[in-house]
Structure formats: C-alpha cells, structure tokens
Amino acid sequence: MVYYLILCRSLTYAQRTATALERAGITAYILRSPKRIAGEGCGYSVKIAERNLAAALLALRRAELTPKQVYLTAGDGSYREVLL
C-alpha cells in the first residue's frame, strides 16, 4: 500500500497536524517516525493516503502548519522524500 508520511518536529505538532487534516475531512494517523527517515532522536509522523496529499498540503497551509518533510512510502518498505 502506498501512502505519505508527514514528518513533524514533535508529538504536539503531529497532533495539531492530524487535527487540521481531520477538520478538512482527511483521515490521518499519528505514529512514530521510522528510524530510517527520522534521523537523530525520536520523531512523529502523520500518515495519510496517497490520494490526499494535495488536499492535505492545502489544509496545512491554511492552518499555518509547515511539514518538516514529506515521504512517499511504497509497499516494499522503501521511503522517498517528496520535495515541496
């Protein structure tokens, strides 16, 4: 299954991001960022369906929330950063 991970700088920021997306009608799940993409320290991500990326970025812009990074994940477990 292909989906996007929106990396956030803290748990609170991930919660705000998920809330803004849910208000826009986009299903969002908060989870710990995979170590391969989180870098140093622990991080949190918000998971959204592949079809929702454009609407999610628009909703976050309206809520004045800027994603740290966005990654596309593939069914084979690989991650590819999406340049915004």
What confidence category does residue 38 fall into, taking pLDDT thresholds of 50, 70 and 90?
Answer: confident
Helices (H), 1-84: 11-23, 35-38, 53-62
Q: Whole-number mean pLDDT of the chain?
A: 91
Which residues neighbour 36 within 8 Å (Cβ) at sequence distance 6 or greater?
79
Confidence (pTM): 0.89
Give the pLDDT confidence score for residue 41 in this predicted structure: 64
- The residue ranking higher by pLDDT, 78 or 39, is 78
Residue 54's alpha-carbon distances to 26, 38, 81, in angstroms, are 11, 23, 15
All domains in the chain, ordered by first residue: 3-82 (3.30.70.1530)
pLDDT tens digits for range 50-67: 999 999 999 999 999 998
CA distance 35 to 78: 12
